[in-house]
């Protein structure tokens, strides 16, 4: 049968674009198949803040950060907690290879394509409090100048240029239902042509059937993303034994098209899925007042100063501070029997410490607008944060604590907060600020953060009492659990070739990005260090493209 291309790439997200870019560099003909319309080129990566995990970068060195491959691998290993001899065989190798990439050619690879980074480096996932456990020992979160759209652009532009040369063609609104195999090898895909959609990027599109298709090639690369937009699959794979009960209420951090369909489809063809129960969901979600997709939630990327209370007004235990241990905090929250928590903070804290994840929530960096960016150091919260304070259903702003608690109860979706309990937590925390030293580990962490110049200047507020009117008004934020990433997936070798359950490689079938657990079927293990999701799409897509460019006739 006549081949439609050398390679079929299923999914037009970041991993698919990277694989296509590498293939076209070698002169291969690529057919990109995607169930969404052309407005969604770049997939979920477009919506991201553009955080990139780099090790011993020039940006780090300029900030006085001493990082190394050994330190990063120590942090990665402590966070991953690999403990499955069979399912973690390839993820262990991917983890080591990825950290080498992050400490080596990753920055140059992106820089040569036009990527530039913010001069300051963020400190994400600060960890559980010991050197060998989960968390980043140093700041490694490099924000792309231009955020997610720029990460997409540096690969999309050469891909579109290759399309003009006839090397790339797109089949939008083509939903793959089956991977075609012949003599044990993947040779194509077939599926449903969906009715046209003119919806804007991220908006849920129709699934109306308009026809069928079948396409053939020497190889198929699956880059279709994870399960974060499909709460049914999230519930099916939820690790009750490790995280506790499945929450009743979660808002959605990704568009509806992040549906995980290709996992089962690829498994039905003979691909092996590992670490299904490993996933990454955030605890600091807020309902988007201006939603794009169903149940659209935004994650607050918090600094370390906000007082974190559970649904009953009790302070979260050490070391579950804002920005420290995502899954440890998630497990604790679920153990309370409720699905929401609260931040209590001040105007001074929100002005300096609140950032919102997402390209659309950061118009200054996304638009590369220096004048707008400099406005962040002035008085007042950043514009998008201020909009949530004004219009978001999860924000309460009051001048005194009693009025604040009354407002929290007015919007609360759980137990009524007892004012005396909340007051007790706030006063106890504030008393610890009468001296420059303290037994309060969160306040110690705040002071430690401010010893890093970038945090002191741009990210972490000067320690102060919450009830100090000079720093008011008081603010409370109701926090929801927010679906996001899939950490397990299709098992792949270091060429991104899909493995079968018997440990052999699946001829002609490759997978990259989130559908492959960002590489190997779960290179993050149980936890992520942040800035590693986009990088995982780039690394695994690059591996698939280069392997096929090398091996195809």
pLDDT tens per residue across span 395-416? 999 999 999 999 999 998 889 9
pLDDT band (50, 70, 90) for residue 553? confident
Model confidence band, residue 375 (pLDDT cutoffs 50, 70, 90): confident
Q: Which two tokens stand for residue 541?
A: 């897509």
Write down the pLDDT at residue 412. 81
Q: Does pLDDT of 377 surpass 80?
A: no
Distance CA 319, CA 331 (A): 13
Q: For 383-396, how does the pLDDT look when each residue is reduced to its tens digit (9 = 90+)?
A: 999 999 999 999 99
- Looking at residue 379, what is its pLDDT? 81
% of the chain surpassing 70 pLDDT: 100
Is pLDDT above 90 for 281? yes
Quick: pLDDT tens for 81-97: 999 999 999 999 999 99
**Nearest partner of 327 among 462, 125, 173, 131, judged by Cα:** 125
Residue 183 has pLDDT above 80, yes or no: yes
Q: Return mean pLDDT, the chain.
A: 97
Q: According to the model, what pLDDT value does residue 380 have?
A: 83
Q: DSSP assignment of 76-126, as one string?
A: HHHHH----TTTTHHHHHHHHHHHHHHHTTHHHHHHHTT--EEEEEE----
Pair of tokens at residue 113: 């394509």
Give the CB-side neighbour count of residue 537, counting CA atoms within 13 A: 35
Q: Is the pTM of this model over 0.85?
A: yes
Q: How confident is the model at residue 484, as a pLDDT? A: 92
CA distance 445 to 129: 10
pLDDT digits (tens, 9 = 90+) for 115-170: 999 999 999 999 999 999 999 999 999 999 999 999 999 999 999 999 999 999 99
pLDDT single digits (tens) 431-467: 999 999 999 999 999 999 999 999 999 999 999 999 9
3-state secondary structure of 401: helix
Measure CA 156 to chain center: 20
Residue 501 token pair: 């359950």
Q: Give the CA angle between residues 232, 496, 549 to the nearest 5°.
A: 135
Q: Among 362, 394, 360, which residue's Cα sits nearest to residue 376?
A: 362
């Amino acid at each position: 049968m006549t081949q439609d291309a050398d390679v079929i790439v299923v999914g037009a997200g970041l991993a698919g674009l990277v694989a296509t870019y590498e293939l076209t560099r070698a002169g291969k003909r690529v057919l990109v198949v995607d169930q969404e319309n052309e407005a969604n080129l770049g997939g979920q990566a477009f919506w991201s803040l553009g955080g990139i995990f780099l090790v011993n970068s020039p940006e780090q060195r300029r900030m006085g950060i001493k990082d190394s491959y050994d330190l990063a691998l120590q942090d990665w290993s402590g966070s991953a907690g690999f403990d499955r001899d069979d399912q973690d065989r390839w993820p262990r190798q991917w983890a080591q290879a990825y950290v080498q990439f992050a400490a080596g050619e990753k920055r140059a690879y992106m820089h040569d394509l036009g990527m530039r980074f913010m001069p300051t480096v963020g400190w994400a996932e600060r960890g559980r409090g010991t050197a060998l456990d989960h968390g980043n020992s140093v700041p490694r979160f490099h924000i792309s100048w231009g955020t997610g759209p720029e990460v997409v652009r540096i690969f999309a532009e050469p891909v579109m240029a290759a399309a003009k040369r006839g090397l790339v063609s797109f089949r939008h609104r083509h939903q793959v239902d089956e991977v075609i195999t012949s003599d044990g090898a993947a040779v194509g895909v077939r599926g449903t042509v969906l009715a046209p959609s003119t919806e804007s990027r991220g908006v849920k599109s129709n699934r109306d059937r308009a026809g069928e298709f079948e396409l053939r090639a020497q190889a198929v690369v699956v880059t279709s993303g994870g399960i974060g937009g499909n709460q049914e699959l999230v519930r099916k794979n939820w690790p009750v034994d490790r995280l506790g009960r499945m929450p009743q209420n979660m808002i959605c951090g990704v568009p509806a098209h992040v549906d995980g369909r290709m996992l089962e489809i690829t498994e039905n063809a003979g691909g092996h899925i590992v670490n299904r129960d490993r996933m990454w969901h955030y605890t600091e979600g807020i309902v988007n007042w201006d939603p794009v997709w169903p149940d659209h939630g935004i994650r607050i990327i918090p600094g370390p100063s906000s007082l974190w209370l559970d649904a009953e007004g009790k302070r979260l235990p050490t070391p579950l501070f804002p920005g420290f241990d995502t899954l440890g905090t998630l497990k604790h929250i679920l153990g309370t029997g409720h699905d929401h928590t609260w931040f209590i903070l001040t105007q001074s804290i929100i002005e300096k410490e609140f950032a919102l994840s997402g390209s659309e929530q950061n118009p200054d960096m996304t638009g590369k607008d220096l004048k707008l960016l400099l406005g962040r150091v002035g008085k007042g919260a950043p514009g998008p944060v201020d909009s949530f304070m004004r219009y978001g259903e999860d924000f309460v702003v009051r001048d005194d604590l009693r009025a604040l608690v009354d407002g929290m109860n007015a919007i609360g979706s759980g137990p009524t907060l007892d004012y005396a309990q909340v007051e007790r937590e706030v006063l106890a925390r504030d008393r610890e600020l009468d001296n420059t030293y303290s037994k309060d580990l969160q306040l110690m962490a705040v002071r430690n953060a401010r010893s890093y110049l970038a945090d002191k200047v741009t990210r972490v507020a000067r320690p102060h009492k919450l009830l100090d009117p000079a720093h008011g008004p008081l603010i409370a934020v109701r926090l929801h659990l927010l679906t996001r990433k899939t950490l397990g997936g299709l098992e792949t070798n270091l060429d991104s070739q899909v493995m079968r359950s018997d440990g052999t490689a699946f001829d002609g079938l490759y997978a990259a990005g989130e559908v492959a657990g960002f590489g190997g079927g779960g290179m993050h293990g149980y936890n992520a260090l942040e800035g590693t999701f986009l990088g995982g799409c780039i690394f695994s897509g690059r591996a698939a493209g280069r392997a096929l460019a090398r091996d195809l006739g």
